Chain A
């Protein structure tokens, strides 16, 4: 264990395929302790898959993923669950447990992993809900929450065990500007206040630029570019420019592979 190193997560020569489709090939990436790291890239490049590999929900075919210097593929199930107690993860849709109230959702990890009294659990849960502005929604059920509220509750749940690493999978998708602003501020505030390391997968270049310390642009199974958001914005690479400036034309084609438009419309290929 190398807990003093600046590098919290190191990915070396990662290879991962799904069936015949290669998602990552010789991927190398380092996530620094205490920073907010953004993973960006066009749709379908495997950003969420990378999060699942980092949290060992998936296992790579080749290469190593080190967390604090420990290769996570060598961990037993018990060790893995112990490691995961250091993680908090915010899923794209919140993934709240639908049969539990907001309060019980946030209390869930505490009830499962600690012997705290109900009184103490109540204090901790209400504190976390207060931090995301939803103390008043403690008794509501997940089905009564808006998308933004559900994500904030999920954020409260993700941080209730005071994790070292917080993972956000597309936290800004489908949010109105107010909710998005709230989430962005919460991400920054929690990272700085709690001294955690945050990893964010997002397409939202503008929002991510305001909050990330370092960004990785992933394309074709590799890290195509990395640096601060400002560095990426002025990068000369065609791919980086296309992505950062949202241009339709560039290395990433708008159209999925298809036969000729005219040929297909006129049905010549079927004649």
Chain B
């Protein structure tokens, strides 16, 4: 029993210590952010390409099929109430406010987050970060901040593209396949979806972008510099990001209702 209490105490202390270090790490990134945005924007653009443009294919394919599923499910259920014309509204709310930001963030964690964590972890394991230190170059602004900002900037765009392609997928299924009236599909959506709804989606994807990029960069930078350590950091990136995204999604949804 005493051992159990001691273990709980030790784990609690370790959790608080790690969480504190994580917050300080976030502040370090933020401290260097203005300098990088102003002085080294080219580095950020390169990372927006790496995290964003290279994730486009998976985002668009996923969006298309998620939209298609929404079309099928929406039609099957709304038809029971003779409300199949509202399928556009149904899909738009689902995609813009929830599925777009959340699924994009989960896909981002799997595609770009793992790539960031393993890249930084391997840079550490192969002494590249130490080499930078020895060349009097601080790796935090040079390596970490551009990768963090790249993810933060890319995420809202990816989420928007996911939602757009998703709506196109819904349109294909509902209008082209199931013969829902195209005018009703788009007009009801236009009349019902407000700027506030879109803002909620943008806010969510921005928060998820910060969380996913921060977790990936943190895990990579703190990876044990071995093959096993980098592998673990990569796995943790996906798991922690997935949990963080769902928790933040709940919190933001609750706040904005």
Contacts and interface: CB of A to CB of B under 8 A. Distances in A.
Interface of A: 55, 57, 81-82, 84-85, 87, 89, 91-93, 95-98, 108-109, 112-113, 157, 161
A151 B128 CA distance: 13
Nearest to B122: A98
A-B pairs, top 10 by smallest CB distance, nearest first, are A95-B131, A95-B127, A84-B136, A81-B136, A89-B134, A91-B127, A109-B135, A85-B136, A112-B137, A95-B128
Interface of B is mostly: helix
Interface string B99-143: 000000000000000000000001100111011111111100010
B93 to A, nearest CB: 41
A208 B122 CA distance: 31
B142 A112 contact: yes
Contacts of A109: 135-137
B38 to A, nearest CB: 16
B69 to A, nearest CB: 38
Interface residues of B, number: 15
A93 B134 contact: no
B131 A89 contact: yes
Given A85-B136, A97-B123, A112-B135, 12 more contacts: A57-B133, A57-B134, A84-B133, A92-B127, A97-B131, A97-B132, A98-B122, A98-B123, A112-B137, A112-B142, A113-B136, A161-B135
Nearest to B127: A95
Contacts of A85: 136
B164 to A, nearest CB: 31
Of A82, A87, A97, A112, the most chain B CB neighbours within 10 A belong to A97
B131 A91 contact: yes
Contacts of A97: 123, 128, 131-132
Interface string B183-223: 00000000000000000000000000000000000000000
A57 B130 contact: yes
A197 to B, nearest CB: 16
A93 B130 contact: no
Nearest to A51: B134
A165 B138 CA distance: 20
Contacts of B131: 89, 91, 95-97
Contacts of A92: 127
A1 B238 CA distance: 51
Contact of B126 (A98, A112, A161): A98
B135 A108 contact: yes
A93 B142 CA distance: 21
Contacts of B138: 81
B136 A91 contact: no
A265 B132 CA distance: 48
The interface centre, meaning the residue of B126, B135, B136, B138 with most chain A CB atoms within 10 A of its CB, is B135
A85 B134 CA distance: 8
B245 to A, nearest CB: 28
Contacts of A93: 126-127
A82 B135 CA distance: 10
A101 to B, nearest CB: 14
B137 A87 contact: no
Interface string B212-254: 0000000000000000000000000000000000000000000
A57 B128 CA distance: 13
B142 A84 contact: no
Contacts of B134: 55, 57, 84, 87, 89
B170 to A, nearest CB: 39
B132 to A, nearest CB: 8
B125 to A, nearest CB: 10
25 contacts: A57-B130, A57-B133, A82-B136, A84-B133, A84-B134, A84-B135, A85-B136, A87-B134, A89-B134, A91-B127, A95-B126, A95-B127, A95-B130, A97-B123, A97-B128, A97-B131, A98-B126, A108-B135, A109-B135, A109-B136, A112-B135, A112-B136, A112-B137, A112-B142, A113-B137
A112 B132 CA distance: 10
A55 B135 CA distance: 11
A97 B135 CA distance: 12
A97 B138 CA distance: 14
